[in-house]
Amino acid sequence: MSMNIVLLEPEMPANTGNIGRTCVATGTKLHLIKPLGFEITDKMVKRAGLDYWPHLNYEVYENFEDFLEKNPDCIGKLYMATTKARHIYTEVAYEPDSYLMFGKESAGIPEEILVKYEDYCMRIPMEYNIRSLNLSNSVAIVLYEALRQHQFAQMELQGHLHRLHWHEE
């Protein structure tokens, strides 16, 4: 199982760094579509991703068409997060190798793209007066739902406490 996160024109390096860290923790590939609001070498990206960034499986594309051309297998499993969607993210039956796409922080995914993929648009429920959630939080919410649907395949499911001996006095 290998999920994919697609960021269309991300603007904030800290969000992308946090998303990169989430991708490493879940074995997910990160796809970055230009223009980016920062350089990949930006210290804010690295700081947010901490020491995980060198382990990140990612690819950068010139534009959305370049992404589609290089990932023909995404057709039929490219899900777009938008506040304009009719369906909630938990209503989607995600394939084990789905592509979960998120737009830039200031504007989301352009409507000319959304109308072509209307049946693949999903939203995270929010109060009516809220414009949107933080990008890295949105990615985590949707990605973990997709992973949950596949029983978190190939992920560590159990932690282990280090049993300390406490003495009652």
CA–CA gap between residue 21 and residue 97 (Å, rounded): 19
> What is the C-alpha separation between 74 and 113, in angstroms, rounded?
15
Is 103 assigned a ligand-binding role in the annotation? yes
Q: Which tokens in the block code for residue 74?
A: 């995404």
Asked if residue 21 lies in contact with residue 45, where contact means CB atoms within 8 angstroms, the answer is: no
CA distance 5 to 83: 18
- To the question of whether residue 5 is assigned a binding role by annotation, the answer is no
Task: Judge whether 132 is annotated as a binding position.
Answer: yes
Helix, strand, coil share of the chain (percent; to 5): 40, 15, 45
Task: Give me the DSSP letters along 95-134.
Answer: -TT-EEEE-BTTTBS-HHHHGGGGGGEEE----TT-----
Q: Which residues are annotated as a binding site?
A: 103, 124, 132
Q: Which residues are annotated as a binding site for S-adenosyl-L-methionine?
A: 103, 124, 132
